[in-house]
């Protein structure tokens, strides 16, 4: 898992536009301004998908992934908290990765 994180850090450092925050920002601008030229390229989505797939494979191979059943109330509280954290991250200029 550490190796995957290290490789992802190198990739996102070398290509700052490939970072998930930059990809979501470009997609949001596309939706807000209705300008298809702002839409992120497919290789950016493929890179993020490859990163998530690599993490999932590593977690399954090392048997460090555990699924725990939760209640609807607990899940909705976590989703609301994530939504509020996401809103807090995009309201200031630059999001949460540049402050």
Whether residues 86 and 38 share a domain: the answer is: no
Whether residues 8 and 47 share a domain: the answer is: yes
CB atoms within 10 A of CB 56: 11
Whether residues 21 and 59 share a domain: the answer is: yes
Angle at 71 between CA 67 and CA 76, to 5 degrees: 100
Whether residues 33 and 77 share a domain: the answer is: no
Whether residues 74 and 54 share a domain: the answer is: no
Q: Is the pTM of this model over 0.85?
A: no
Whether residues 18 and 52 share a domain: the answer is: yes
Q: If pLDDT is split at 50, 70 and 90, which confidence band does 21 have?
A: confident
What per-residue confidence (pLDDT) applies to 76?
A: 96
What per-residue confidence (pLDDT) applies to 37?
A: 74
Whether residues 15 and 43 share a domain: the answer is: yes
Domain membership of residue 9 as a residue range = 2-67
What per-residue confidence (pLDDT) applies to 71?
A: 95
Residue 74 has pLDDT above 90, yes or no: yes
Whether residues 55 and 78 share a domain: the answer is: no
Residue 98 has pLDDT above 60, yes or no: no
């Amino acid at each position: 898992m550490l190796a995957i994180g290290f490789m992802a850090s190198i990739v996102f450092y070398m290509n700052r536009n490939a970072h998930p925050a930059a990809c979501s920002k470009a997609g949001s601008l596309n939706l807000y301004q209705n300008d298809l030229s702002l839409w992120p390229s497919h290789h950016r989505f493929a890179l993020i998908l490859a990163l998530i797939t690599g993490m999932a494979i590593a977690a399954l191979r090392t048997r460090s992934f555990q699924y725990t059943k939760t209640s609807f109330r607990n899940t909705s509280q976590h989703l609301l908290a994530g939504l509020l954290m996401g809103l807090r991250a995009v309201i200031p200029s630059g999001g949460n990765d540049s402050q």
